[in-house]
Amino acid sequence: MKIIFLGMTGVHQALIAGYYYLGQKPDADFKNLKGFADVKLEISGFPILLGQDQNDNMVYALGCETDILMMKKTIEQLRDILGGEPGELVVLPVTIPQEKLLLWLTSLAGVIGAGRWYFYVSRLIARRKLLPIYDQVKQFEARIIQH
């Protein structure tokens, strides 16, 4: 099974949720989260591979820019059209109140360049929202077991 954590950006809350699901919490400076606030990864648009869980499921993070539920619908329809089973690809939306701000910062970083400021501001925002992200992952774990 492939598990996609879907956020408005793929390199913030979705990525943290994916790593948390894999058993990895961010350390004090978030440097252990490979891909965190990586604007190049975000702009590419491709799902970001985070690792494999204990059941050999591949775990990804993906950013959708606008409407998370709309993107979830598109991905699930594409999966179905391509003949995939619902359990083959699971999409798990992750939201935090500051997601639009993070998206805006990512757009800005794409234009003026993502220096350290982008990483630090992203970290500052994400650090305050770790618990809500973890809570969402715990809810997903129950759903993933069902699949």
**Where along the sequence are the contacts to another protein (CB under 8 A)?**
2, 4, 43-47, 58, 60, 62, 64-67, 69-71, 73-75, 77-84, 88-89
Nearer to another protein, 24 or 57 (CB): 57
Cβ 82 to another protein, closest distance in Å? 5
Nearer to another protein, 65 or 134 (CB): 65
Nearest residue to 62 via CA among 52, 53, 54, 72: 72
Cβ–Cβ < 8 Å for 47, 40: no
Nearer to another protein, 8 or 133 (CB): 8
Nearer to another protein, 26 or 47 (CB): 47
**Who's near 9: CB < 8 A, 6+ residues apart?**
42, 63, 65, 99, 102, 103, 106
Cβ 16 to another protein, closest distance in Å? 20
Cβ 127 to another protein, closest distance in Å? 27
Q: Phi/psi class of residue 5: alpha, beta or left (left: φ > 0; alpha: ψ in -120 to 50)? A: beta
Cβ–Cβ < 8 Å for 37, 114: yes
